Structure 1
Amino acid sequence: MASPTAKSASSRTVPARPNTAFRQLRGRLSPGEFAAAVRRSAREIGEQVSCDARYVGRVESGEIRCPNYAYERVFRHMFPGLALPDMGFAPRETVRGRGARTAVNAAPLALDPDHRDTCIQICEESDVLRRAFITGGPAAALGIAALHPAEAAAVPRPRTPGGRAGAAEATAVEEAVRRIRLLDDRHGAEGIYRRATAPLRAAYDLLDSGVQRRSVADRLHSGAGELAITVGWLAHDSGRFGDARSHYAEALATARVCGDAALEAHAFCNTAFLARDADRPREAVRAAQAAQQAAKHLGSPRLLSLLALREAGGWAVLGDRSGCEQALSRAERLFAGGTADNDPEWMTFYGEAELAGLEAQCWSALGDGERAAELARRAVSLQDPHFTRNIALFTAELAGDLTDSGALEEAAAAGTRALALLDQVGSARIRAMLDRTARRLHAHRGLGPVADFLERHTASAGAVAAAP
């Protein structure tokens, strides 16, 4: 228990003063309507935020004195010309970091039960990565700070007051999902997967600890299921297909237990993706169709579009051109319906670039290299810079498609660009794609660009093999 002195110091650090300026910005919208507007704005700029009415209430009550960087970018996009103080927020330097702690000479926030789990320290590692550290309570128990290879902190077991999980624990699980996805978007799965399994175990331990309120139980089940899918994806992208299959099955079981159709659709979606990559195309088709069945009442045409693409991928590997074309047509029609408030947060990657890239993969599997290359070029050109891994993925796809279509020097150039991106991204899946392209180009090593690509590929493969 915190001492009275610590309590007082911490309270001075985070005074709960209502944010009237932000309340005025909300206008006549309800908190839920405003949260939906925030999510829409985030999608417009490629950000990922899980804003809901509860978050809006925390801002307006003064509990959140300064938003994290992602929310700051979204709010600046929504209200051009306004700085954080204009929106009623405290300057970042007075809230976070060493300067804030020195200025108030206060005890850590985790000592104050009224503010535990509300402080997120954001440290800028580079232009492409901001690592988040949850500084106290159950969020720290989930081990979010240990996810990136640059961190080596141990992951303790979850500890919940009175042995039961509450809203703070549910928030910690949701934050873990979001942070892992951000790291994956920018750096790929290699180096993250092993560390991410610890927060997953902690999340399911929280479920076993018991939950008093049904609303919290639902959040924990959904969060744990999404975390299982996220960790499964890291295994998938790292080439650990058996692990991925196990994690996706765990997520599907969680969805069935709590009757969460959105989680079920997501689990089947990733299962279909994995089945295609594991050369089980019939399973891919069945899983994608099951996902569409689960998602049909969720009110998200974009989700149904992505699921139709997963089905198309299975048909393509089977060589069923008619089935593939029908699924692709359905995917394009649903995509044209635009975004919706009910679009899942995890789908922020799915835009025109992803649509083109997944279509390219289908045509490549059907043997139409020229059409696939055209779509892969479009995917690379449209990709948001935030999704570094996807840029590398579709550049590698382009290299393979150009090889199929006979444009060997252009293929080698694309392969070289993809290799350069792998300095930032760790993905066994992308490396495997480039390995296949290198094998097919080997017979043409007399061409200058091809020889350069093969030399770089050999050096890159050697560096990976030598890595600890």
Structure 2
Amino acid sequence: MVSTGAVPNLAFRRLRGQRSAGEFAAAVRRAAREIGEQVACDARYIGRVESGEIRCPNYAYERVFLHMFPGASLADLGFSARESVRGRGARSGSAPSVPSAPEAAAEAPSAPSAPPVPDESHHTDEESDVLRRVFMMGGTATVAAASLGLGGPPASAAGVSLPAQRRVGESEVDAVEQAVRRIRVLDDRRGGDGLYRQAARPLRAAYELLDTGATTRRAVSDRLHAGAGELAISVGWLAHDSGRFEDARSHYAEALATARLAGDAGLEAHAFCNTSFLARDAGRPREAVRAAEAGQRAARALGSPRLLALLALREAGGRAGLGDRTGCDRAIGRARAAFERGTAAGDPEWMSFFREAELELLEAQCWSALGDWSRAARHGRRAVTLQDAHFTRNLALYRAQLAGDLARAGRVEEAATTGHQVLDLLDRVRSSRIRGMVAGAARVLEGRAGGVSGAESFLTRHRGLGGAHPALPEGASSGRS
């Protein structure tokens, strides 16, 4: 339904020319694929633009339209400036409608992947950037800034408020960056299940700060964009770890859009890294490879061999999912060579989890995906031995991976012992993916226990803990964001 007072976009209608709305929508989808975007454009969307109901496209559509009409600006295409459109729900006294996570993800810009087959039965037409539509439910910038503390009442969370002139300064950006660190620390200890909903609040706050006022300096603006993007990735990871794959895809996509708009290669590499990881877990190995390759291109000038190593391992995971043993082995070789170059000043803060233990775990997952269970178990044992006890969540995760590989390799007693060690940690770690991995190991052991007392004990204990959790795809685990 067209909003009251909408002004038809005659400029955009002229650009369509003699083509039907459906034909023009198909041209938009083709143009999106040319630049690695995915937009769910159909005749209805074109009609809403031409009627004036959509006054400004979201970031993904903006890039596509500017690609289709080189040299044109949004104003030339008949759109209003983004800053004049944002916040209209709050001004009119009604909150903007909130699409479901899959609907939001349908228009989210995402990592390059194989051209999708258009689904004409289910398209969405978001008017503004994805995270604002999903999370911005009104409220003042002052409340948003105060909400940057994770947990607890807003008044005591961060003690941050915006000044009267609505400028965003160092204290607000510090609060965003601190929220990112806080989420990562809590995830290291507890896993994603209990944190995801809480983390939505500081994410709303970060994007509210981006929307509500100019920053005082370019350096502050760059930090705010980077902080908001990193926060989107962190929240995306919590969704990912708790099995909400479509939510995670949307968050990672918005981080990538923020990175591109800000020209932030480091944030772009991080977004592609997590997008690759998610694609692998969601059973899209070809997309995992392409996203990892895009991340490596973004990371080349950053001076971080360790980041290149992690991205090469993401590529290896995708190639393993494709059954490409040779390509996987080569990517692992590049990863190890880069890792051995050591740490560097350019290593991003978020990579604190990526140590030798994680490298071993990721390689174990590659061999597991290729069906080489014994080789996977060898690397899994090294990962468990090397893992720092500070990362409680990863202690459980590495052992869950090892238990599954041992079970499939026929090492029943050792698998059961390792499984018990995972169960010992599940009262402290809440992660759907880890529970799914344990459930997968238990299913394998069900058919191989054969009276082995240790295995029977583990299976009884697992069932007693309500162990009927759905398993994630093979190898669907790793360290966080």
- Judge which range, 446-455 or 295-304, deviates more: 446-455
Q: Which has the higher contact order (CA 8 A, sep 6+)?
A: 2
Deviations 1:364-386 (A, max 9, x none): 11111111101000001100111
1:408 aligns with 2:412: yes
**Greater CA deviation, 169-178 or 447-456?**
447-456
Distance in 2 (CA, whole Å) between partners of 1:364 and 1:463 is: 22
2:411 and 2:143 map into 1 onto residues whose CA distance is 54
Q: Does 1:450 align with 2:455?
A: yes
Q: Which residue of 2 aligns with 1:192?
A: 195
Q: Which residue of 2 aligns with 1:275?
A: 279
**C-alpha displacement of 1:144:** 1.8
Structure ranking higher in helix proportion: 1
Which residue matches 1:359? Answer: 363
**Offset of 1:247 from its aligned partner?**
0.3
Answer yes or no: is 1:142 the counterpart of 2:147: yes
Q: Does 1:160 align with 2:165?
A: no
Q: Which runs of 5+ in 2 are unaligned?
A: 1-141, 471-481
Matched, 1:379 2:383: yes
1:233 aligns with 2:237: yes
Preserved CA contact (<8 Å) 1:142 1:176: no
1:176 to 160, 166, 179: 179
In structure 2, C-alpha distance between the alignment counterparts of 1:334 and 1:223, rounded to whole Å: 27
Tell me how far apart the structure 2 counterparts of residues 247 and 285 of structure 1 sit (CA, whole Å): 19
Q: CA deviation at 1:461?
A: 2.1
Alignment of 1:69-80 (within 5 A): none
Per the alignment, residue 127 of structure 2 pairs with none
Offset from partner CA, 1:132-154 (integer Å, 9 cap, x none): xxxxx8897134240xxxx5768
Residue number in structure 1 paired with 2:204:
201
- Identify the residue that residue 48 of structure 1 maps to in structure 2: none
Question: Are the aligned partners of 2:420 and 2:458 in contact in 1 as well (CA < 8 Å)?
Answer: yes
Note the C-alpha offset of 1:419: 1.2
> What amino acid is the match of 1:399?
A
Tell me: CA distance 1:241–1:382, structure 2 relative to 1, closer, same or farther (3 Å).
same
C-alpha distance 140-260 of structure 1, shift in aligned 2 (>3 A): closer
Quote how far apart the aligned CAs of 1:159 are. 4.2
Deviations 1:291-341 (A, max 9, x none): 000000000000000000000000001110011001000000000000001
> Do the aligned residues in 1 keep the contact of 2:150 with 2:202 (CA within 8 Å)?
no
**Contact 1:282 1:318 (8 Å CA) reproduced:** yes
Residue aligned with 1:444, SS? coil
Q: SS state of the match for residue 181, structure 2?
A: helix
Q: Work out which of the residue numbers 312, 316, 322 in structure 1 matches 2:320.
A: 316
- Superposed CA offset, 1:164-201 (max 9, x none): 21111000000000011000011111111100011001
Q: C-alpha displacement at 1:213, in angstroms?
A: 1.5
Report SS of the residue matched to 1:436: helix
Partner Cα distance (1:307, 1:194) in 2: 28
| Aligned-partner SS, 2:295 | helix
Name the aligned partner's letter for residue 377 of structure 1.
Answer: R
Equivalent positions of 1:25-174 (< 5 A) are 141-146=146-151, 151=152, 159-161=161-163, 162-174=165-177
1:459 matched residue in structure 2: 464
Aligned structure 1 segments of 4 or more residues deviating by more than 4 angstroms: 137-140, 151-159, 462-465
Give the letter for the 1:260 counterpart: D
TM-score, structure 2 normalization: 0.65
State how far apart, in whole Å, the 2-side matches of 1:143 and 1:296 are. 32
Letter of the structure 1 residue corresponding to residue 446 of structure 2? H
Output the CA distance in 1 between the equivalents of 2:469 and 2:319.
Answer: 34
Identity %: 63
